[in-house]
Amino acid sequence: MDFEQEIARRRTFGIISHPDAGKTTLTEKLLLFGGAIQEAGAVKNNKIKKSATSDFMEIERQRGISVATSVLAFLYNDKKINILDTPGHKDFAEDTFRTLTAVDSVIVVIDVAKGVEEQTEKLVEVCRMRSIPMIVFINKLDREGKDAFDLLDEVEQKLGLSVTPLSFPIGMGYDFKGIYNIYEKNINLFSGNSKQNIEETIAFDDIESTELEGIIGENSAQELRDNLELATGVYPEFDKEAYLEGAQQPVFFGSALNNFGVRELLDCFVDIAPSPRPKKAEERLVASNEKDFSGFVFKIHANMDPKHRDRLAFIKIVSGTFERNKPYLHVRLDKKLKFSSPNAFFAEKKEIVDISYPGDIVGLHDTGNFKIGDTLTSGEKLSYTGIPSFSPEHFRYINNADPMKAKQLYKGIDQLMDEGVAQLFTLELNGRKIIGTVGALQYEVIQYRLEHEYGAKCSYENFPAHKACWVEPMEENEEFKEFKRVKQKFLAKDKRGQLVFLADSAFSLQMTQQKYPTVRLRFTSEPT
Ligand code: GDP
């Protein structure tokens, strides 16, 4: 297979959903189709339950699982599929946002009974802003839920999408009979005990044929015909170009748990989902079929073994091939590095690979060279953009609780921030350090890891901030000088030295914006 074919057969995507909608179950069924696992139950749920927030061992265990499920790769119809894990728990939303910079498309899972939930809204918004192609999977059709048309409406309104159904349910819950696949024009009957089976479908391209009555009964046949007529009247025809541009989102219905409607989703997905897309670097747009290698770090994960302070940096390959033992330029450090054991990921194992292609993820052992967002290339000075930090929602001072271990503490904080566990802000006024996180759970993770991995102890103290706003660089005019003088107590630098205004309330933020209209404030570290 040549280079271009290798690129064309790759599909790198993420599944996003609100917790409990069925992401893990769907992932598992997809792997089952790929033959990557033999039975259900093999994929661990990478979920942190509320009750476990104070259970450190649970956090450790979960961290182990999330390494194992960071990338799940399998082959299906000769396509190489890479699923990137996106934690659903809101305390890990930032991790998910960063992972979304490395996917070429996404599948959005929605629970038929619950409809569009909060976390789905946030994640879809990020995908929409970046025009990432999305397919929607409405799950749990074996249960009573909302009416299909109401749900499609809800998806359009709450998520701001333009949908078109590619399959349509026949009944629901107790009456669920199956699915008509609009994309392939066939019917798949639901038997309810197909949890692990791969069901046969009945080809059915003429929905008006009276044979339909024989298959699903009179009432259901008429209802299906009416629904399809309405659906084709209301929704536009599927347009692959529009999907690829992020302007239209096809919708499938099914039940992941019953492995129902999943093959239809997968077949359509491998057919229409994009192979690795070009990526914007600060310098230029880089096409995946360029011969020279380039890639970027979107995730860093500490290793489980506390004796080896080794980390795994996850690189998404954007262009060219990544080869073992070849020197590559680490652009930020302006240093050539070689990797003797790059890891590739297959289902739940990882193994050393000699060559990887655009769309693939390689895991590189790292002893502290990498930060999230770093770029590696064959030699060109490229910096990939678009790995923003979002404003944290919790802020606390971090204090050293063991004066003998100050060095360890700062080293630990530094490395944990490189991993993207949380964000560090240093107050301009007095140099005190503030940790900002998306969820309270991170403070426990940080404290635990500082102690167990670095031998350092910390304590926290509340810092009354509401939001971190990045101040766009601007010239030193009178307004800017006054802003800096008046707001002195609330100004800090982030890890990259960018100026940040820590607003203490929504009200004070609004007042500040009114008073200093030329000072531009952003809620992410980079324009998204
Ligand atoms: P995640 O949090 O999005 O990864 O959700 P899970 O895959 O862990 O699923 C949450 C719960 O919903 C589990 O108890 C699943 O067994 C259940 N579930 C998933 N898919 C279906 C489905 O199609 N039908 C029904 N009835 N339950 C499902």
Nearest-angstrom CA–CA distance, 244 and 239: 9
Q: Is residue 78 part of a domain?
A: no
For 288, counting Cβ atoms within 10 Å of its Cβ (0-12 exposed, 13-18 middle, 19+ buried), the class is buried
Q: Is residue 79 part of a domain?
A: no
| Shared-domain flag, residues 329 and 231 | no
- In the structure, what pLDDT confidence band is assigned to residue 210 with cuts at 50, 70 and 90? confident
Say which residue, 431 or 419, is predicted with more confidence.
431
Q: What is the pLDDT of residue 65?
A: 53
Q: Count CA atoms closer than 13 A to 172's CA, side-chain side.
A: 19
Q: Is residue 111 part of a domain?
A: yes
Q: What is the pLDDT of residue 203?
A: 74
Residue 22 CB less than 6 A away from ligand 1: yes
| Shared-domain flag, residues 137 and 267 | yes
Gap from CA of 114 to ligand 1 centroid (Å): 12
ipTM over 0.85: yes
| Shared-domain flag, residues 270 and 290 | no
Query: Among the atoms of ligand 1, which is closest to the Cα of residue 139?
Result: 23
Query: Nearest C-alpha to atom 26 of ligand 1 is from which residue?
Result: 140
| Shared-domain flag, residues 298 and 367 | yes
Choose the most confident range, by mean pLDDT, from 46-55, 126-135, 519-528.
126-135
Q: What is the mean pLDDT of the chain?
A: 87
Mutate to test the pocket of ligand 1, among 20, 96, 174 (most ligand atoms within 8 A of CB): 20
Residue 143 CB less than 6 A away from ligand 1: yes
| Shared-domain flag, residues 516 and 434 | yes
Nearest-angstrom CA–CA distance, 418 and 300: 8
Mutate to test the pocket of ligand 1, among 25, 29, 174 (most ligand atoms within 8 A of CB): 25
Percent of the chain residues past pLDDT 90, beyond the cut: 59
Provide the CATH number for the domain around residue 20. Answer: 3.40.50.300
Choose the most confident range, by mean pLDDT, from 253-262, 314-323, 388-397.
314-323
Q: Is residue 180 part of a domain?
A: yes
3 state DSSP class of 17: strand
In this prediction the pTM is 0.86
User: What is the domain range of residue 319?
Assistant: 280-377
37 to 34, 75, 81, 348, 352: CA distances (angstroms): 8, 12, 14, 9, 20
Taking residue 291's Cβ as centre, other Cβ atoms within 10 Å add up to: 9
Could you write out the three-class secondary structure of 323-376?
ECCCCEEECCCCEEECCCCCEEEECCEEEECCEECCCCEEEEEECCCCCCCCEE
Gap from CA of 247 to ligand 1 centroid (Å): 29
Could you write out the three-class secondary structure of 197-222?
CCCCCEECCCCCCCHHHHHHCHHHHH
Placement of tokens 């509320």 in the chain: 50
Q: What is the pLDDT of residue 176?
A: 87
Which residues, 6 or more positions from 93, have their beta carbon under 8 angstroms from its beta carbon? 87, 119, 122, 123, 390, 438, 439
- In the structure, what pLDDT confidence band is assigned to residue 167 with cuts at 50, 70 and 90? very high
Whether the per-residue pLDDT at 307 is higher than 70: the answer is: no
- In the structure, what pLDDT confidence band is assigned to residue 60 with cuts at 50, 70 and 90? low
Q: Is 379 left (phi over 0), alpha (psi -120 to 50) or beta?
A: left
Closest CA to 395 of 267, 519, 320, 501: 501
Say which residue, 172 or 293, is predicted with more confidence.
293
Residue 257 CB less than 6 A away from ligand 1: yes
Q: What is the pLDDT of residue 368?
A: 83
Gap from CA of 20 to ligand 1 centroid (Å): 6
| Shared-domain flag, residues 264 and 154 | yes
Q: Once rounded to an integer, what is the mean pLDDT over residues 370-391?
A: 88
Q: Is 187 in contact with 202 (CB distance < 8 Å)?
A: yes
Gap from CA of 112 to ligand 1 centroid (Å): 11
Q: Is residue 99 part of a domain?
A: no
| Shared-domain flag, residues 254 and 294 | no
Q: Is residue 498 part of a domain?
A: yes
Closest CA to 296 of 388, 221, 370: 370
Say which residue, 172 or 191, is predicted with more confidence.
172
Residue 256 CB less than 6 A away from ligand 1: yes
Query: Nearest C-alpha to atom 25 of ligand 1 is from which residue?
Result: 140
Say which residue, 440 or 493, is predicted with more confidence.
493
Choose the most confident range, by mean pLDDT, from 34-43, 80-89, 92-101, 476-485.
476-485
| Shared-domain flag, residues 235 and 357 | no
Q: Once rounded to an integer, what is the mean pLDDT over residues 154-158?
A: 96
Nearest-angstrom CA–CA distance, 188 and 174: 17
Whether the per-residue pLDDT at 379 is higher than 80: the answer is: yes
Gap from CA of 17 to ligand 1 centroid (Å): 11
- Return the bridge partners of 462, or none: 396
Provide the CATH number for the domain around residue 438. Answer: 3.30.70.3280
| Shared-domain flag, residues 236 and 143 | yes
Q: Is residue 81 part of a domain?
A: no
Closest CA to 120 of 91, 163, 155: 155
| Shared-domain flag, residues 141 and 269 | yes
| Domain total of the chain | 3
Q: Is residue 98 part of a domain?
A: no
Q: Write the pLDDT tens digit of every residue in 105-121.
A: 999 999 999 999 998 99
Q: Once rounded to an integer, what is the mean pLDDT over residues 301-330?
A: 85
